[in-house]
Structures are given as C-alpha cells and as structure tokens.
C-alpha cells in the first residue's frame, strides 16, 4: 500500500514500486540457493565496477579478477577525493543519491548510491521495522536525533519529519527541565515507537526511573524502541526495557551502506544478507570462521553508482557460529578499530575496556547520568561526567583500583564533573577519545 511515506520516496526518484518486489524476491530465495545468489551478486558487482568505474579499476590494478580474496580492502581513505571522480559511467551528481558520513570515525566523506540501491535500502528498513508492527506510513515516531541548526537545513529536516510521520525531540539539551517537556509530549501524543541515538534515549530512561514512571502507563500505544549509532550496553538495555515497557531493538547501520544488522523478534542481531555481504577479516585480510573476532568488512551488492567492495567500515565484531548465508547473525559488536588506548607498557586496550570497568562501578547508585573518557597522555586519562552529586573519594579509589586490576599499574586518572557533555554536531556522544594518536 503506497501511502504518503512511500509516495514521498517515489517522488524523490527512488523507485519503491520496483525495489519492494525485488527485496521480497530476494527474501524468497531458499536457504539452499542463497549461497549461489551471494556468489553471483559478488561477481556481478565487481565486474560492473571494473568495467564502468575508472577509480575502482585503478584501485584494483587490473580489469579482471578471478579470486574474491585477492581483491584489495577499501577503507575510508580511498574516498578522500572528489565524488565526481569516484562515480561509475552514466552516473552524475544529478542522478544519484548523495550524502555525507557522520565522521564519527575521524574520516568523514561524501558518498553516492544509485537511486534503485537507495530504494532497496528503504525496502530493507521498512521490512525490519515491520517485524515489530511498525508501518512507516501510519506509525508515529518519537525521534531522538540531531538536526541541522542552519535555517535551510533545519526546515528541510522538519519537512522530512512531517512526510515521515515523526516528531523530533531536541538532544542537545537533555536537562530535567527539557525531559519533563518530552514526557508531556508522550502524554498527549499517540507514539508507536521511539527511534534515535542510544545515549540520548538512555538519559530519558534514567529520568523516568527517577520519577518512577513506566512510559507505557502514560503512552499505551508505544510498541518498541529502536536505538542506533552508539554502543548499547546490556545494563542500559535492561533499564530502557523496564522504564519504557516495550522491546528495545538494537540497530547497526552505516549511511554509506545500508542497515547492517537489526535485532529480530527472537532477540538475534540479524545481518542484512539481502543487499550486503558482511565478512570478518583478520589483520592479514584472511576471512575468519564464524565465532572469531575481527574487522568488519562489507560489500554493497547493489550500488552501481559508487563501489563499496570489501570496504573496511572501521568496526570490530564477531559473527555467530550458527550463521548461514541467508541468515547471518552478529554475535557481538566490539567497537571501532580506532577507539583504542596504547598504554605505557605497550599494551593495546579497546577504549570500551575503560568504559565497561568505570560504568560498572560509577552507576551503582544512579547518581552519574553519563560520562566519557579521554586519553590525554600515554599514562593519563580524564573522566568527564554529569551527575547530581560529585563522586566521592571512595568511589574514585574503587574505580582506580578496578582499572589497575583490568589493565595495568601507574595510570593517572582525573575526574571532572560537568553540567553537560560535549556532543558532535549531529548530537552523538563519543564515549572514548584518544588525543595522543
């Protein structure tokens, strides 16, 4: 049924009437035949770009290929040149979908998708949200995302919100006064679902916890909450589930690609196998068996305008041992490859190690609302936090002792209490930052 949302996509040149049936056709391929589908699409997309994309042909260094595993790995640095130089034959800046990555990994770039590929992305999103009874044409979204602050950018986003049946909340000020206004909106609007950045929605859940309110008691139409763009910790998931009274769904995506993984009703993080190929590689670019941790490398099987073939997205993760070609399951998303701390001993620790250790202690009493950790020197870290009361000496000693146990001796920590934490322009909160790399 093509209502306002689908029609707005169609009007913008995205062929939804063609993409939705094609997406359904891909889903109808049997488990037994799905491996052949993937093999054929891999071959097709590589040959297309070797024949039609000068930039990719130069990157590969030849015009034919025989072994998938010999194809070079693309990184964001390959895209640090004008988009017009990266487009395939027949595509121009006027007949493709153009957008920019968030730059959360430190290497933002402009990318393109052909319009059918982008319509296929939307077909996937519509399908996944449909698992939880969400219809983009009729379901009202409570949106916790950033928004451009310039006049034109702001108005464009507001029009999109109107066409997409969503109400946007500010995430640049999440004080109790603002969250009280947010709560009032849930009392008077029949929201079907919440969607947005993890850290912002967690703060709203903590606000509800403090007021001893379960959101469905004042907004009974609420069906689910979908969080994206930032790490979701198990304790936060439990907190949100308790305070919202609905399933909490973890989404993993990348604007330049597609929806990468989406939690299904069985609580599995199901990978998008319809339009992407997700591989886990070791440091020598060898494909790892399921169950092993490595770099997440993704191929867009349908983007003819711009190659994303064996593209290292900058994340580390594990595919579940029970994964199949048709239904890969993301067992764990560890974090970004660039979010690491190099310690005085030479040890390399994921930045999330600090976050996990500190988080487990710092939030016992619910006093601390959120925090980030910055490595300012090889042996020095600064913890910035927002709380109702300052951390006590006893709490700080407990944290320092835990970090010594999990990491090493001789590290210096300073704790700075803030009114609010600095977010990126988009409103995301980067939880660990190394300032020495």
Per-residue pLDDT tens digits for 170-196: 777 778 888 999 999 999 999 999 999
Residue 195 sits in the same domain as residue 215: yes
Q: What is the pLDDT of residue 10?
A: 82
Q: How confident is the model at residue 404 (pLDDT cuts 50, 70, 90)?
A: confident
pTM, entire model: 0.81
The torsion of the CA quartet 290, 296, 301, 304, rounded to 10 degrees, works out to: -170
Find the mean pLDDT for residues 52-80.
91
Split into its structural domains, the chain has a count of: 2
Residue 283 sits in the same domain as residue 355: no
Among 314, 336, 358, which residue terminates a domain? Answer: 336
pLDDT digits over 375-402, tens only?
Answer: 999 999 998 988 888 988 888 888 888 8
Among 336, 355, 382, which residue terminates a domain? Answer: 336
Residue 247 sits in the same domain as residue 180: yes
For residue 339, what are the CA distances in angstroms to 21, 93, 152, 342, 410? Answer: 40, 33, 34, 10, 21
Residue 384 sits in the same domain as residue 251: no
CATH of residue 357's domain is 3.30.300.30
Residue 180 sits in the same domain as residue 42: yes
Measure the CA–CA gap between 344 and 342, rounded to whole angstroms. 7
- Answer whether 172's CB lies under 8 Å from 423's CB: yes
Residue 408 sits in the same domain as residue 259: no
Q: What is the pLDDT of residue 106?
A: 47
Residue 360 sits in the same domain as residue 226: no
Find the mean pLDDT for residues 53-69.
93
The most confident of 110-124, 144-158, 332-346, by mean pLDDT: 110-124
Residue in this structure with the two tokens 């190659």, named with its chain if needed: 307
Q: What is the pLDDT of residue 102?
A: 58
Find the mean pLDDT for residues 76-91.
88
Measure the CA–CA gap between 41 and 45, rounded to whole angstroms. 6
Residue 261 sits in the same domain as residue 346: no
Q: How confident is the model at residue 264 (pLDDT cuts 50, 70, 90)?
A: very high
Among 336, 364, 390, which residue terminates a domain? Answer: 336
Residue 334 has pLDDT above 90, yes or no: no
Q: How confident is the model at residue 371 (pLDDT cuts 50, 70, 90)?
A: confident
pLDDT digits over 269-311, tens only?
Answer: 999 999 999 999 999 999 999 999 999 999 999 999 999 999 9
Measure the CA–CA gap between 412 and 82, rounded to whole angstroms. 43
Residue 259 sits in the same domain as residue 274: yes
Measure the CA–CA gap between 77 and 395, rounded to whole angstroms. 42
Range of lowest pLDDT (6-15, 80-89, 342-351) = 342-351
Residue 302 sits in the same domain as residue 428: no
pLDDT digits over 216-232, tens only?
Answer: 999 999 999 999 877 78
Residue 36 sits in the same domain as residue 65: yes
* Number of residues written out for the chain: 437
Domain residue limits at 390? 340-434
Residue 364 has pLDDT above 70, yes or no: no
- Answer whether 298's CB lies under 8 Å from 313's CB: yes
Segment holding 372, helix H or strand E: strand 368-377
Closest to 267 in 3D by CA, of 283, 249, 252, 285: 249
What is the rounded average pLDDT for all residues in the chain?
Answer: 88
Measure the CA–CA gap between 290 and 279, rounded to whole angstroms. 9
| Angle at CA of residue 344, ends 339 and 345, nearest 5° | 105
For residue 407, what are the CA distances in angstroms to 167, 252, 335, 396? Answer: 44, 29, 18, 16
CATH of residue 212's domain is 3.40.50.12780
Residue 69 has pLDDT above 60, yes or no: yes
* DSSP secondary structure letters along 15-48: -HHHHHHHHHHHHHS-HHHHHHHHHHHHHHHHHH
Residue 314 sits in the same domain as residue 347: no
> Is the sign of the CA dihedral 380, 384, 385, 389 positive or negative?
positive
């Amino acid at each position: 049924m093509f209502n306002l949302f689908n029609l707005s996509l169609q009007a913008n040149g995205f062929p939804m009437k063609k993409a939705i049936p094609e997406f359904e056709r891909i889903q109808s391929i049997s488990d037994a035949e799905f491996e052949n589908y993937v093999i054929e699409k891999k071959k097709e997309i590589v040959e297309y770009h070797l024949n039609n994309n000068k930039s990719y042909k130069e990157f590969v260094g030849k015009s034919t290929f025989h072994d998938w595993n010999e194809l070079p790995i693309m990184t964001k640095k390959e895209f640090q040149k004008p988009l017009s130089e990266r487009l395939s034959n027949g595509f121009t800046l006027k007949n493709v979908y153009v957008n920019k990555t968030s730059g959360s990994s430190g290497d933002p770039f402009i990318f393109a998708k052909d319009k059918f590929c982008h319509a296929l992305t939307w077909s996937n999103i519509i399908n996944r949200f449909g698992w939880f009874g969400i219809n983009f044409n009729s379901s009202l979204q409570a949106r916790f995302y950033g928004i451009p602050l310039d006049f034109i950018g702001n108005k464009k986003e507001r029009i999109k919100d109107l066409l997409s049946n969503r109400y946007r909340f500010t995430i640049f000020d999440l004080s109790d006064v603002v969250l009280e206004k947010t709560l009032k909106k849930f009392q008077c609007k029949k929201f079907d679902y919440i969607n947005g950045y993890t850290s912002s929605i967690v703060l709203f859940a903590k606000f509800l916890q403090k007021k001893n309110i379960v959101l469905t008691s004042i907004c009974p139409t609420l069906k689910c909450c979908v969080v994206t763009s930032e790490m979701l910790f198990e304790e936060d998931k439990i907190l949100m589930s308790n305070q919202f009274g609905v399933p909490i769904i973890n989404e993993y995506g990348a604007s330049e690609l597609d929806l990468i993984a989406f939690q299904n009703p069985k609580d599995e993080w199901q990978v998008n196998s319809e339009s992407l190929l997700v591989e886990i590689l070791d440091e020598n670019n060898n494909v790892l068996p399921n169950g092993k941790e490595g770099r997440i490398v993704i191929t867009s099987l349908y983007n003819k305008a711009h190659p994303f073939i064996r593209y290292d997205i900058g994340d580390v993760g594990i595919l579940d041992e029970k994964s199949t070609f048709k239904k890969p399951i993301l067992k764990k998303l560890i974090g970004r490859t660039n979010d690491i701390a190099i310690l005085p001993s030479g040890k390399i620790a994921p930045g999330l190690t600090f976050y996990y250790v500190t988080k487990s202690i710092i939030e016992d009493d619910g006093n601390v609302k959120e925090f980030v950790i910055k490595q300012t020197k090889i042996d020095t870290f600064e913890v910035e936090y927002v709380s109702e009361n300052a951390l006590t000496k006893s709490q700080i000693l407990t944290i320092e002792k835990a970090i010594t146990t999990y990491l090493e001796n001789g590290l210096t920590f300073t704790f700075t209490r803030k009114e609010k934490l600095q977010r990126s322009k988009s409103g995301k909160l980067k939880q660990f930052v190394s300032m020495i790399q």
